[in-house]
Amino acid sequence: MFVELITTGSELLLGATLNTHQQWLGRQLAELGMPVSRQLTVPDSGTAIAEAVADALQRADLIITTGGLGPTSDDRTRDEIARLLGLQMTEDPDVLKQIEIVFKRRNHPLPPNFKSIASIQAQVPAGAIVLKNEHGSAPGLSLEIPRTTVGQIPRQLIMLPGPPRELQPIFTEHVIPLLKSKFSASGSFVSTTFHTIGIGESRVEAAIRPHLVELEARGLEIGYCARTGEVDVRLSAQGPAAMELVKEAAQRVRRLMGKYTYSEDRRILEEVVLGLLREQGKKLVTAESCTGGLLAHCLTNVAGASDMFVGGLVTYSNELKQSLLGVRADTLAAHGAVSEETAREMALGALARYGADYALAITGIAGPTGGSAEKPVGTVFIALADRAGVEVERNQNPFDRETFKFITVRQSLEKLRRRLLSSPGDGQQKSPQV
């Protein structure tokens, strides 16, 4: 199956906007077993979009365009494609109604040119299926383009609006079911991804590859994707035996990498940690210094976090470490703000004061200055306290400030995840597959 993605927008070519659709849609489509074969970005102006679609139609089974469905003069996708395919456009009354609903929901007065905006965006090419947009005014559109050869699955052309917050829900809610129904015959691609943390890419490969050799010979593909502090392992296969191959490989990888795997679905680490807290009916408080609230930020990005996360303190100064967390002046004087002792008191203080079952505390030296021979830049202490006591780990994360913060937050979440997985008292890891 040949899938072609055409992103429109001069801002993408000028580097003013990062083309995140390529990444997001690329990943979604790969997981559906319809990986993107070719991707092109064209400017808004002229007939570039029509030329790109005309070219794609010569080889693609599925074409997805993004952007250019708005009401302004640089939004030409709908018009250009209708012109290319010789399709009449008519105003769709349901789309018009939906546009009004979306505008009214924003609680702004309707703009004076509302009628003309709405009327442009409610134009639908003949034969197109409207993909409802709950978050913006221009709906997505799907067109089936017949082939000359009888019996072949028709090509699909899908137009999606540019803003990610509009495109993503339309894709998830409308495009995925549509693609599944239209291309079910070619759905013999199976893929699963293990998200791991705390182990490098080459060690992951060395640990699993020898156990997958004969499955590889039978068509299994292994992909490694190193992200900051994490490694994803993708197992995929195509053809009639795909399901069986991937299932067998996944069992082996689970056995070998279980300890490091935090999810096999698409949940991110903070979701997994909050999920475990929820299951166990536990609450978390955080006390951060060098990560400046990033841990609390990551936790509060997850919907429903308030059930498990009581709050977080950013105690950057010694004064606040003392007044908000009860860190002793003696401790700070004797060991410094970046020390095992301070981390321990930060966690214990947060736990005692703020009504949680677990407290995570972080103190470290992000750099580029402030390091010493004993505590070089990148030194960080992560403390985890619960009713049974407190445990501190010391890590060395010698990266730029943003990466330092990001990795430190991952490490602290992972520390808590492991604690939540080990049954109380025995200190042993249970299977992390929850």
Stretch that binds ligand ATP, among 86-94, 156-164, 230-238, 241-249 (CB under 6 A): 156-164
Give the integer Cα–Cα distance in Å for 78 and 67. Answer: 10
Per-residue CA distances from 184 to 1, 115, 191, 210, 353 (Å): 11, 40, 16, 34, 56
Kindly compute the dihedral angle of the four CA atoms of residues 412, 413, 415, 416, in this order, to the nearest 10 degrees: 120
The residue from 26, 35, 163, 311 that contacts ligand ATP (CB under 6 A) is 163
Q: Least separation, in Å, of the C-beta of 409 and ligand ATP?
A: 25
**Residue whose CB is less far from Mg ion, 70 or 349:** 70
**Residue whose CB is less far from Mg ion, 29 or 42:** 42
Rule CB under 6 A: say whether 82 interacts with ligand ATP. Answer: no
**Short-list 4, 57, 41, CA closest to 162:** 41
**Residue whose CB is less far from Mg ion, 137 or 412:** 137
Give the Cβ contact number of residue 168 at 10 Å. Answer: 17
Rule CB under 6 A: say whether 161 interacts with ligand ATP. Answer: yes
Q: Least separation, in Å, of the C-beta of 131 and ligand ATP?
A: 12
Stretch that binds ligand ATP, among 18-26, 81-89, 185-193, 330-338 (CB under 6 A): 18-26
Rule CB under 6 A: say whether 295 interacts with ligand ATP. Answer: no
**Residue whose CB is less far from ligand ATP, 46 or 154:** 46
Stretch that binds ligand ATP, among 14-22, 216-224, 283-291, 425-433 (CB under 6 A): 14-22
Q: Least separation, in Å, of the C-beta of 351 and ligand ATP?
A: 42
**Residue whose CB is less far from ligand ATP, 76 or 410:** 76
**Residue whose CB is less far from Mg ion, 46 or 389:** 46
Rule CB under 5 A: say whether 9 interacts with Mg ion. Answer: no
Give the integer Cα–Cα distance in Å for 120 and 114. Answer: 10
N residues, the chain: 434
The residue from 9, 33, 70, 378 that contacts Mg ion (CB under 5 A) is 70
**Residue whose CB is less far from ligand ATP, 166 or 248:** 166
Structure tokens that stand for 18 in this block: 């990062």
Pattern 40-69, binding to ligand ATP, x per CB under 6 A? --------------------------xxxx
Q: Residues interacting with Mg ion, by CB under 5 A?
A: 70, 75
Interface residues toward ligand ATP, by CB under 6 A: 7-9, 12, 17, 19-21, 66-70, 75, 138, 161-164
